[in-house]
Structure 1
């Protein structure tokens, strides 16, 4: 049973939340970071990039210490204030495409992560887990929730809908044209009801944030070992998550781009493809696959449809049935020589929101030789992979909603 509890969030004051909220640091270009740090003294980027104050790059443990210092300064100046009562936070996002996401920010259990109540579908890199655990241990807070999804619950939906009819504590629109709303839920009766509904759920699934959740679990394990009076209820036993129903989750595909044909000529490559796929030249027609095991390919100024030939590929589990895995096992590795899709510099990725025009432009420019378009993975496929204890290839999903840092902060 899932343990999802309220917590006392540290939050910006209402007048500054729109200035503080920031996307993930890695999503900004260097010019965008510079602009926000220069023009907005309240941006959360000042906390995660403390070296700006000294006009120099600072890394490692020194940076972590300065992050903690900047955060404490924001609290001392009462830009951030901690809630007095443990609360759930109803969070609604309406993105610029008109998609709406309604969920709950709460604290989720590291023990549930260990016991597979919180299930994973993606591999993590150990060195990243260790680095982020050191970061968390030094700064003492988490400002970006892990995105979890749960089976649709009419009872939970009714509570959320009722609360969202009242005035939101926060309402702001970002320069990215997404509108965010937050309601603080500290009524004891409602809090008990929400906790009980989550407790009935046997499984939660990580949609986005595998490294954050893994690092939080690693931190909980180490602090537990160091604490002789450990009870299991300390804040470090939990990590902040944004939980949304499965029907709200939006999954886009990640298309693949490859820099060369691994020494093959165009004709040699097409002949090899013909052994595994039924190929049709679509010319200038933008072809996007509409069925599983169908792929689009852009090569030498033309689009192709690739249909997997029956009998040429064996499916023995949920991973084998995944289109990203099929592409890897039939084309990327055997024909194009890409063994490590995570680290090979010859492969690039473009999420489906960029559409196939991005793939075409990247190939036409000469940066890449060939591009492949895929159909997006479904929630059921993602769950099945997790249920079977398997892991998707990297860059298999681009998932929305994308959250902002600094709106709710979890201290431990």
Structure 2
């Protein structure tokens, strides 16, 4: 049922794609951003950080307009070109660990998002939705696809296998040692087959990009209301996505770091913790949970294993069985007094790729008092949350792959 369409991407020229492609703006440290802006005139960061040209921090509508100006300059200088007809794009990433991600870049329908044919598992923040909607409306393009996932499909898998045997249009390796490939699909029969295969699916699931999806939907509704000749086929009715099979998705956990014990001594804290968990002091042993409802805890130079007591907690739905929710319901909120996981300054997060070694280091240096680790959510748990129209606690999943911005661009009007 989902409507997944080819589109006319705006792309860098082959000789400049490796220079243009960038990570998300927020993922760079200030020194990293400055180094790239100083030394690479083609970086996509010049577009999304237009104030650099004037040595000034610029925000709000003024920044949005300048982003559009920088983008138009890249087009005028033929750094970006647009494909002559709608295409699907096959995108592959092989990261430095050797993990491989391959899928289609395509346009997905905002109506499908509205009608829950594109399902979500995270809450979004209204202010961020509105801000990014206004940004999209002003700049007129989307340069970072929403990551969607679909069940195994033999027909699509065969197409991906055959296409990736041929020479890629783009092939470049980043300083992160990830290698990126892009193939262009133009054959009308192949395009039709891909579209029909997606139509056969009951739904797709958002893996990453909930705010981008929500903002694209809001923009579509706004522009539809202003267009008396609205047909439903206008560009603003769609948003750019990267769609990969479920087996290619990598879901990591977020570990929790807390700055204090909410006024409790170590002994008082452990006594309260005992009501919910069987606690074992592991000393210096680097402990990582081995199954669901187990947690790793690091406190005052020692690791602890926590095993949820079977009689201490009641499972009522898919959300209640998530380890991130259990941690919140049994420790973070009732014992440590952390209610607002998004905004409380006493809690911070580190994705599981860093492991508990990062957590231990931060606690040992005195930045935090205590840390918790857990196993990652699996794809079936994520889908069940979406199917039951529930939402996970903030910072439950860190999902790969992470795409580069500026490799394919979807123009909204």
TM range (shorter): over 0.9
Residue 116 of structure 2 is matched in structure 1 by 116
Are positions 1:3 and 2:3 aligned together? yes
| Cα-to-partner distance string for 1:187-224 (whole Å, 9 max, x where unaligned) | 11100010010110111000000000000000000000
Q: How does 1:147-186 map to 2 (within 5 A)?
A: 147-186=147-186
Q: Secondary structure at the match of 1:23?
A: coil
Residue 306 of structure 1 is matched in structure 2 by 306
Output the CA distance in 2 between the equivalents of 1:339 and 1:66: 39
Q: Secondary structure at the match of 1:64?
A: helix
Output the CA distance in 2 between the equivalents of 1:152 and 1:22: 30
Residue 136 of structure 1 is matched in structure 2 by 136
Residue 59 of structure 1 is matched in structure 2 by 59
Q: Secondary structure at the match of 2:38?
A: helix
Q: Secondary structure at the match of 1:207?
A: strand
Are positions 1:194 and 2:194 aligned together? yes
After the TM superposition, which parts of structure 1 deviate over 4 Å for at least 4 consecutive aligned residues? none
Residue 333 of structure 1 is matched in structure 2 by 333
What TM-score do the two structures reach when normalised by structure 2? 0.99
Output the CA distance in 2 between the equivalents of 1:356 and 1:317: 29
Q: CA RMSD in A?
A: 0.4
Residue 372 of structure 2 is matched in structure 1 by 372
Q: How does 1:139-288 map to 2 (within 5 A)?
A: 139-288=139-288
Residue 387 of structure 2 is matched in structure 1 by 387
Output the CA distance in 1 between the equivalents of 2:51 and 2:263: 45
Alignment gaps of 5+ in structure 2: none
Q: For this pair of structures, how many residues does the alignment match?
A: 412
Q: Secondary structure at the match of 1:324?
A: helix
TM superposition shift of 1:154: 1.1
| Cα-to-partner distance string for 1:165-203 (whole Å, 9 max, x where unaligned) | 110000000011100000000111100010010110111
Output the CA distance in 2 between the equivalents of 1:290 and 1:198: 36
TM superposition shift of 1:275: 1.0
Q: Secondary structure at the match of 1:406?
A: coil
TM superposition shift of 1:72: 0.3
| Cα-to-partner distance string for 1:218-267 (whole Å, 9 max, x where unaligned) | 00000000000000000000000000000000001100010000000000
Residue 407 of structure 2 is matched in structure 1 by 407
Q: Secondary structure at the match of 1:230?
A: coil
Residue 46 of structure 1 is matched in structure 2 by 46
Output the CA distance in 2 between the equivalents of 1:284 and 1:79: 54
Output the CA distance in 1 between the equivalents of 2:320 and 2:89: 39
| Cα-to-partner distance string for 1:61-105 (whole Å, 9 max, x where unaligned) | 010000000000000000000000100000000001110000000
Residue 357 of structure 2 is matched in structure 1 by 357
Residue 23 of structure 1 is matched in structure 2 by 23
TM superposition shift of 1:367: 0.8
Residue 35 of structure 2 is matched in structure 1 by 35
Output the CA distance in 1 between the equivalents of 2:111 and 2:330: 39
Output the CA distance in 2 between the equivalents of 1:129 and 1:26: 17
Output the CA distance in 2 between the equivalents of 1:232 and 1:151: 27
Q: Secondary structure at the match of 2:207?
A: strand
Q: Secondary structure at the match of 2:349?
A: strand
Output the CA distance in 2 between the equivalents of 1:355 and 1:338: 23
Are positions 1:127 and 2:127 aligned together? yes
Residue 317 of structure 2 is matched in structure 1 by 317
Output the CA distance in 2 between the equivalents of 1:117 and 1:170: 32
Q: Secondary structure at the match of 1:353?
A: coil
